[in-house]
Amino acid sequence: MKETFIEIVRKQTTPYWEGSFSHPFIVQLEDGTLPIENFRYYLIQDAYYLRHFSALYKRVAEITSNPILKTQMLDNANDLAEGELAIRAKFFEELGITDTELKETGVAPTAYHYVSHMYRQLVENNDAVAAASLLPCSWLYFEIGQKLRQSNEPSPVPIYQDWIETYGGDEARVAIEQECTLLNQLYAESSQEDKESMISAFVISARMEFNFWEMAFNFEKWPVGIAND
The catalytically annotated residue of 30, 143, 179, 209 is 209
Rounded to the nearest integer, the mean pLDDT of the chain is 94
Residue 156 has pLDDT above 90, yes or no: yes
- For 164, other C-beta atoms within 10 Å of its C-beta total 21
Mean pLDDT of 145-162: 92
Residue 229 has pLDDT above 80, yes or no: no
Is 209 in the active site? yes
Is 180 in the active site? no
- Which tens digits make up the pLDDT trace of 93-113? 999 999 999 989 999 999 999
- Which residue segments constitute the domains of the chain, with CATH numbers given? 5-217 (1.20.910.10)
pTM: 0.95
DSSP symbol at 108: P
Mean pLDDT of 71-88: 88
Residue 81 has pLDDT above 90, yes or no: no
The catalytically annotated residue of 30, 84, 137, 179 is 137
> Which of 55, 57, 86 lies closest to 71 in space, CA to CA?
57
